[in-house]
């Protein structure tokens, strides 16, 4: 996981480079709503959909949704809109499911 990139002046969009590795024996489903920033009070900022970034001049490197087979990895950049008063420090929260929609894991990484 890369460092959280601060937004340009006047913007509340932050970027985070991520890599997901599937070291398990079954495929996992990756969706934008699996990823969020969370603060110590439990408030969350969900990863933005590509269509929500249309006016932010983001052209490539966006993390792709879809199935991730066993033994493979996927990298890309996730974007989040954070309230200006969103307190730091915060965590990246990742909620993963299997390809069959069963809950797999919930993980928090400090940023």
Cα torsion through 80, 85, 90, 92, rounded to 10 = -10
Residue with tokens 């730091």: 88
* Residues 54-74 pLDDT 10s: 777 776 688 999 999 999 999
Q: Where does the pLDDT of residue 8 fall: very low under 50, low under 70, confident under 90, or very high at 90 and above?
A: low
The residue extents of the domains of the chain are: 4-110
Phi, psi of 75 (to 5 degrees): -125, 155
For domain 4-110, give the CATH number: 2.60.40.1240
The model's pTM: 0.79
């Amino acid at each position: 996981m890369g460092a959280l990139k601060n937004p340009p002046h006047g913007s509340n969009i932050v970027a985070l480079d991520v890599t997901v590795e599937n070291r398990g024996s079954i495929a996992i489903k990756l969706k934008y709503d699996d990823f969020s920033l969370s603060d110590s009070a439990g408030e969350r900022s969900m990863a933005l959909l590509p269509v929500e970034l249309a006016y932010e001049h983001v052209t490539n490197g966006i993390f792709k949704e879809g199935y991730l087979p066993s033994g493979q990895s996927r990298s890309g950049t996730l974007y989040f809109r954070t309230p200006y008063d969103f307190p730091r420090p915060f965590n990246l929260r990742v909620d993963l499911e299997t390809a069959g929609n069963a809950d797999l894991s919930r993980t928090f990484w400090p940023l």
